[in-house]
């Protein structure tokens, strides 16, 4: 597995993985109409281009020329990194891949002198248990209006990094 910074040329792969990952993840949570709306809102080429060229760092997860997934992180203040996205191609999921990505994000946060990682996760998403296993705790509930009559009903989860050391 190789983690590398995403390029603008990776946008089609990010969109393809999002399309493949979202329905199995959210089909029991969101209507198809909301899924289509959110995919267009969050994964249109212009939005991705602005984020990749902006403050959000996108990373691709590759193995032998195959795109396994992607994730995105951002330094939101002097203490905190936000994990905005973490999606894997359902056909290429491997046991332990998510854990390796979280370890990478921890190291990235520590190298950026941040001591917290936060993320938002839908309250009905089964990945909550994964994040708790990785040491995240629920710190807040948040309902975010995303337009068109839709909301995101999320937990905000946090991982405190003071007990972690950077392996250099």
> Which pLDDT does position 168 carry in this prediction?
45
How many C-beta atoms surround the C-beta of residue 155 within 10 A? 19
Measured distance CA(14)–CA(87) in Å, rounded: 9
> Which pLDDT does position 127 carry in this prediction?
92
Task: Yes or no: say if 79 and 116 are a contact pair by the CB < 8 Å rule.
Answer: yes
> Which pLDDT does position 166 carry in this prediction?
53
> Which pLDDT does position 164 carry in this prediction?
57
> Which pLDDT does position 92 carry in this prediction?
77
Domains of the chain by range and CATH? 2-160 (3.40.630.30)
Reference 120, options 131, 133, 107; nearest CA is 131
DSSP 112-137: TT--EEEEEEETT-THHHHHHHTT-E
> Which pLDDT does position 95 carry in this prediction?
75
Assessment of whether the complete model's pTM goes beyond 0.75: yes
Task: Yes or no: say if 87 and 71 are a contact pair by the CB < 8 Å rule.
Answer: yes
> Which pLDDT does position 91 carry in this prediction?
85
Taking the chain (168 residues) in consecutive chunks of 10 residues, what is each chunk's mean pLDDT?
96 95 89 93 96 96 92 97 95 84 97 96 94 97 94 96 62
């Amino acid at each position: 597995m190789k983690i590398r910074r995403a390029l603008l040329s990776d946008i089609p792969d990010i969109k393809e993985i999002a399309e493949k990952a979202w329905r199995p993840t959210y089909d029991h949570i969101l209507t198809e109409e909301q899924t289509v709306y959110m995919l267009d809102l969050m994964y249109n080429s212009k939005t991705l281009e602005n984020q990749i060229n902006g403050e959000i760092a996108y990373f691709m997860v590759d193995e032998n020329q195959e795109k396994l997934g992607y994730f995105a992180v951002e330094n939101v203040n002097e203490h905190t990194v936000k994990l905005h996205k973490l999606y894997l191609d359902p056909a290429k999921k491997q046991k332990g891949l998510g854990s390796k990505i979280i370890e990478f994000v921890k190291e990235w946060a520590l190298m950026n002198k941040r001591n917290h990682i936060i993320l938002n996760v839908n309250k009905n998403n089964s990945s909550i248990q994964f994040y708790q296993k990785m040491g995240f705790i629920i710190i807040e509930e948040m309902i975010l209006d995303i337009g068109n009559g839709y909301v995101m009903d999320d937990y905000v989860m946090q991982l405190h990094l003071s007990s972690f050391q950077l392996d250099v």
